[in-house]
Amino acid sequence: MKIVFLCGSLESGRDGVGDYVRRLAGELSQQGHEPAAIALSDHYIEQEITTNLEAVDVALPMLRLPASMPMSRRLQIAKEWTDAFGAEWLSLQFVPFSFHKKGLAFNLGKRLAHLGRGRSWHLMVHELWVGMDAEAPLKHRWWGKLQRYLINAMIKDLRPKIIHTQTSLYQAQLAKLGFKSHLLPLFANIPNTNLTKQEDISSEQGNAVSLVIFGSIHAGAPVEQFAQDAARYARENATTVKLTMIGRCGKEQETWATIWRAAGLPVEILGEQTPHFISRVLSEASLGVATTPVDVIGKSGTAAAMLEHGLPVLCVAHPWFPIGIAPAQPPSRVRVYKEGNFETYLLGRVPVLSANASAEIATKLLTSLMAASAQ
């Protein structure tokens, strides 16, 4: 099967969806298929780039088109490149803000539709609209209504044979628009390179508790109360509760560090590191901390990385309740923080169920596309 993935950017390590596409395409290639990728609005380049990217030990044909180039020209180049490649499927990896700085890509479906003439469309919804939660400001709710209208129009224009998303919340929102979608879990953005060492690593930790935050920290989380709970647990159990922050955590990193230290607890800030180093840190931790609300935790590649390393994950996030949609049940081994329950979150590590979750998800995608082709 020849499939071309379309996304915003393919800059390595700078765009989560772009990284996802490269790994997914690599897995498809290893399974005997022919994937390729096009970045339609890449802000990290100034001119067109065509290359074969080495991804998961295979060559991935890749076209990157700068966001500064007129859209009509980008689409023309993409059409010629797609035709030359001979794509059977086009897979749009959709995030509103990938195609417009305010997430308002007018007529995106109509503009893309001509790329798919004679081909089948697949739509992967990574994000929908803003303002879908009860705490959202009025501005975001109106903004989100316009985004919702544009997304609805885009799907009708593309008429995808199959739609996937990672969360039951987005699945429910798409259903309210009249579109059937299927869940396709997100795999980790950091592969587990310590599988054979998992037991040895875990046995070295003793009674100390090691919490890890990986990647962006969202504002508004109840970090003060969380730190007090951790400090109380440390005193009552005569142990330490260390917080490690790794990756690009953002400006909230210093807020968390200051509050954690004020509670008398140790902090380690590691910054950006290699995937192998990050895998080792995740393998050594007791508990992963995510600041993404539980209803959208399924779209977090960092949370997926924690889970694929055998870590339980605790959501320490600002209040977030979707409007008109029943709250989601937390995924397995994901808990939602509540004051005073710190010890109940230390569930202990579990054996990693899958040595290669990305390969399994690639197989699930292929099965879905083949079934859709047969209809």
Residues 6+ away with beta carbon under 8 Å from 196: none
pLDDT tops 50 at residue 339? yes
CATH of 195-345, one of 1.20.970.10, 3.30.1330.120, 3.30.420.40, 3.40.50.2000: 3.40.50.2000
Q: Using 50, 70 and 90 to split pLDDT, how confident is the model at 196?
A: low
Amino acid residing at 117: R
Give the pLDDT score at 59: 74
- 292 token code pair: 């993404």
Q: Give the residue extent of every domain in the chain.
A: 2-186+357-374, 195-345
pLDDT tops 60 at residue 204? no
The count of other CB atoms within 10 Å of the CB of residue 150 is 20
Give the pLDDT score at 200: 46
Q: Are strands 58-66 and 49-55 parallel, antiparallel or unpaired?
A: antiparallel
- 89 token code pair: 């499927």
Q: Where are the beta strands (DSSP E) in 43-88?
A: 49-55, 58-66
pLDDT tops 50 at residue 201? no
pLDDT tops 50 at residue 203? no
DSSP-assigned letters across all residues of 168-226: HHHHHHHHHTT---EE-PPPPSS----GGGHHHHHHTSTT-EEEEEES---TT--HHHH
**Percentage of the chain lying above the pLDDT 90 cut:** 69
pLDDT tops 80 at residue 220? yes
Asked if 201 contacts 284 with a C-beta cutoff of 8 angstroms, the reply is yes
More confidently predicted of 198 and 254: 254
What CA–CA distance (Å, rounded) separates 245 from 155?
A: 39
- 104 token code pair: 């308002």
CATH number of 2-186+357-374: 3.40.50.2000
pLDDT tops 80 at residue 195? no
Mean pLDDT confidence for 51-70:
80
Residue reference for tokens 């899958």? 354
Most confident of 56-60, 99-103, 323-327: 99-103
Give the pLDDT score at 153: 97
| Least trusted range by pLDDT, from 139-153, 194-208, 234-248, 263-277 | 194-208
Fold matches, 2-186+357-374 and 195-345:
yes
Residue among 290, 351, 297, 307 at smallest CA distance from 329:
297
Asked if 354 contacts 368 with a C-beta cutoff of 8 angstroms, the reply is no
**Percentage of the chain lying above the pLDDT 70 cut:** 94
Amino acid residing at 92: L
Q: Nearest 10 degrees: CA dihedral of 373, 356, 309, 332?
A: 40
Interior/surface letters 301-333, b for 16+ CB within 10 angstroms, e for the rest: bbbbbbbbbbbbbbbbbeebebeebeebeebeb
Q: Using 50, 70 and 90 to split pLDDT, how confident is the model at 202?
A: very low
Give the pLDDT score at 326: 85
Mean pLDDT confidence for 145-171:
96
Give the pLDDT score at 137: 94
